[in-house]
Structure 1
């Protein structure tokens, strides 16, 4: 997952610097073909792609709901994969809220419990990929620590 995010970041940076490379190549049939959608998304600049997606597939109220969800998104249990996937989906649709790498990293970190948040912040990740890797390690460590504590308490009984 982190590798996919890193590849997306690279391709988006390339598209942003290349300028407009054509018009909307979206699906005119009204249905969304995910593979075609992703291929077409990589052919046009991100700003043009987002405008197309918001005008064709999302109402303003839906976008507001997604923006609110992005601001309130938190890690549920130890399912970091689901948290990271949802964060990434919301960032794609609410790009203006986290338009810089620094803002994206800060917002990603905000959804974690305080102990994990402090550890990620102190490591000063340079990229979202670094933050995701650190978060995965810390969540896995927390799960192992909890399992060890439960095992110890069961031995005492």
Structure 2
């Protein structure tokens, strides 16, 4: 059996020893990398900011600052505003198609809350406006109440 080798390192290193010969080089490389990345980020930010100030809004949401709006001719600004807001309105109108119901939908909703007998009579009358539907429903309700009062 071969003899056991003696340990060359300590199990618990000396806590007062904090750096080795390679650690300052690594730390310097990390600091250089951080400085390089910060410089790149600042350069990118400045490029983006300058492109918006100069009127290049191809990569933005379509809104411009007050200074840019004052600097451009009215005709150009009006075209930009019309193009942006027309698209936004079209998107909203597609999303909210049922936001402004037709009058026939309102009539159906109103008549749907009436008793079954009156609902059938009002819908067979086919009112063209909400006012006509309300008048017809009121007449039917009056007739029904008079009929109930006569029976008692």
Q: Same fold (TM over 0.5)?
A: no
Higher helix share: 1
TM range (shorter): 0.3 to 0.5
TM-score (structure 1 length as normaliser)? 0.34
Larger-gyration structure (1/2): 2
- RCO higher in structure (CA 8 A, sep ≥6): 1
TM-score (structure 2 length as normaliser)? 0.35
